[in-house]
Every structure is written in C-alpha cells, then in structure tokens.
C-alpha cells in the first residue's frame, strides 16, 4: 500500500482535479484505491458526490469531520474504515467492462476548517509544542488509523490536503510515504514549493527526534497542471516559470497536464473524472492521454 499526500500551499492549482483523475485512472487499471479528502473546501468529495446526495447520505455522520471530532471530544479513536464510502457513478464506469478495480472515498466536510484549531489546542496551541505529551498521538492520528487491517486491501491511498501546513495536513504527511505537489507553471504557484520542502524537512526532523522512530515522506515530484499550450509546447511565460523551478533541484514529472476547464466542469456535473469521461473531442482525448501518461509515471515513481 502506497500512501501519498497531495499538497501545495497555493490554492487553485488543480490539486483536487489531479487527485480525482489519478485515483480514477488507477481504479480503471484494476487497482483498489482510497481517496481521503482533508480539504475543508470538500472539492474532492463533490467530485464524486452531488451536494444533495452528500447532505442526504454523508453530512450528518459519515465524513472525516465526525471521526476527528470524536477524538477531540473524548480522545476516542474510532475505526476509520467505518467512514469509507464507494461512489456509485465512477465505479459503474470502472466496472462497466468487467474491470476489477474500485475507488473508495472518505468524504470531507465544510466544518473541517475549525478542526485544526481544536487539534492544535490539544497539544498546547498553534505552535505545535513538541514537548506536549500528546504531540505524537495527534500527529499519528491518521497513520495509526491506516494500520487497521481493513486498509490492507488498498493498493494506493491518495490524501487531498488543504493548501496549508496546519495540524490536519501534518497528520497526513506523517501517515504518508510520498508527497505529490501539483503546481501551475506561474510565479505564485511555484513560489512556495521550496518553502514547502523546508517545512516538510522540519516536521520530519522534529517528529523523528521526539518519536524515536524514522519517517521519511519524500517529495515524489512536482507536476505542472493547467498548462496553456502554444502549438505543442507551453506558452513562453509558463516555460520561464518551469525553468525557474528546475533551478532549485526538486524532482519534476516529465508529463504535464493541460488546461481544459470545459472537461473539468463536465466532470463535476457527472461525478465522473475527465480521464474516464465519454467523448471524442480532440481536446478531451489529449487531456485524457496526458492524465494516463502521468499516472504511469507517477506509479513508477512511488513503486521505485
């Protein structure tokens, strides 16, 4: 089982879209995939569930908010597998031709935005005091939950993190083996990537010193998303940003993902990610090809 956190400090970089499409493509290839939505915006959740369905079936007691709230109230760690759901629409497509894969989801909730403050309070405040007796417990919440044998069925777990480095995100990093960083090839989207690398290093060092064990989640690489093309290559302004990022010696995936707002919008309406969408337009087929190639490159990287 490979556990991967998907994160960028900058919002609006296609983080959730990439997570949904890679997860769907892996399931379509016969893998058993779990997506965990830790972003309060809940965009990954709504990529697979319409809002009215979420309100009817999940909102009250079947989201990650309920699970975290139980710990905050009584230091009770409930089995996380109880919150796993299997979205219908995307799995019908995956299994339509006799496929053996499956995509599962742990849904998010808009109320998750308040949980970071509550979790931080349990270890002495927002500065995450390393000397607090519950420092390890809180940081290992998700890691411990994923040791449940119920999760051994999954080939890949993708965690969609909020665009921050707060407590919930830190718990996701501690649970992960790899970190995937989507970024638009522009100045603001790439600006914080070196800073993110520093924060990751600081967390790993502090955690390992206190826990007495070694975790080492590595940056699998940066993948460029929402790329605008001129002919067959990114436009000049975006190539400049790509060259700038290459200078800080961080892994970068060869395959980039083009900008296609129409396909992404349609995917949200149907609860089926673009990589599995029906349609024969040249733009959609090109986007699907890039997502498929990236998924292969990504899989090779996390398995190496």
pLDDT of residue 50: 92
Count of domains in the chain? 1
Tell the residue number behind the tokens 């005091």, with chain if given. 129
**Do residues 154 and 32 touch, judged by C-beta distance below 8 A?**
yes
Between CA 176 and CA 186 the distance in angstroms is: 27
Range of the domain at 107: 2-303
190-237: pLDDT as tens digits: 778 888 999 999 999 989 999 888 899 999 999 999 888 877 778 776
Does position 92 have pLDDT exceeding 80, yes or no? yes
pLDDT of residue 116: 84
Q: What are φ and ψ of residue 106, in 5° steps?
A: -105, 115
Global pTM reads 0.94
User: 172 is written with which tokens?
Assistant: 């996701």
18-44: pLDDT as tens digits: 999 999 999 999 999 999 999 999 999
249-272: pLDDT as tens digits: 889 999 999 988 888 777 778 899
pLDDT band at 129 (very low <50, low <70, confident <90, very high): low
DSSP per-residue string spanning 80-97:
GGGGEE--HHHHHHHTTT
Q: What are φ and ψ of residue 254, in 5° steps?
A: -65, -40
* Highest-scoring range by mean pLDDT, 1-5, 184-188, 238-242, 277-281: 1-5
131, with CB counted inside 10 A (0-12, 13-18, 19+), is exposed
Query: Which are the contacts of 45, defined by CB distance < 8 A and separation ≥ 6?
Result: 37, 54, 58, 63, 105, 107, 108
Considering only the C-alpha atoms of the chain, give the largest distance between any 2 of them, rounded to a whole number of Å. 58
pLDDT band at 127 (very low <50, low <70, confident <90, very high): low
pLDDT of residue 125: 67
Q: What is the CATH number of the domain that holds 280?
A: 3.40.50.300
pLDDT of residue 184: 87
Does position 277 have pLDDT exceeding 80, yes or no? yes
Question: What average pLDDT does the segment 147-153 reach?
Answer: 97
What's the helix, strand, coil split of the chain in %, to 5?
A: 50, 15, 35
């Amino acid at each position: 089982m490979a556990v991967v956190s998907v994160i960028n400090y900058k919002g609006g970089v296609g983080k959730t879209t990439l997570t949904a499409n890679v997860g769907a493509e892996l399931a379509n290839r016969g893998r058993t995939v779990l997506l965990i939505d830790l972003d309060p915006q809940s965009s990954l959740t709504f990529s697979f569930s319409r809002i009215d369905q979420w309100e009817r079936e999940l909102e009250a007691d079947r989201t990650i908010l309920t699970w975290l709230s139980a710990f905050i109230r009584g230091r009770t760690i409930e089995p996380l597998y109880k919150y796993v759901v299997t979205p219908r629409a995307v799995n019908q497509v995956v299994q339509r031709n006799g496929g053996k894969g499956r995509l599962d989801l742990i849904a998010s909730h808009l109320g998750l935005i308040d949980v970071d403050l509550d979790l931080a309070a349990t270890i002495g405040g927002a500065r995450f005091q390393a000397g607090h007796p519950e420092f390890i417990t809180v940081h290992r919440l998700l890691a411990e939950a994923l040791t449940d044998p119920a999760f051994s069925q999954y080939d890949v777990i993708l965690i969609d993190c909020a665009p921050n480095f707060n407590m919930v995100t830190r718990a996701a990093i501690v649970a992960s083996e790899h970190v995937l960083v989507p970024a638009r090839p522009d100045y603001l989207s790439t600006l914080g990537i070196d800073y993110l690398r520093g924060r990751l290093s600081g967390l790993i060092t502090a955690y390992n010193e206190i826990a007495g064990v070694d975790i080492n989640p590595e940056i699998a690489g940066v993948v460029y998303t929402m790329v605008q093309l001129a002919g067959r290559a990114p436009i000049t302004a975006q190539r400049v940003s790509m060259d700038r990022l290459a200078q800080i010696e961080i892994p970068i995936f060869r395959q980039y993902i083009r900008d296609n707002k129409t396909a992404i919008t349609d995917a949200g309406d149907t609860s089926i990610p673009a990589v599995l969408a029906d349609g024969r337009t040249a733009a959609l087929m090109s986007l699907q090809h890039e997502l498929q190639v990236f998924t292969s490159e990504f899989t090779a990287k996390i398995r190496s």
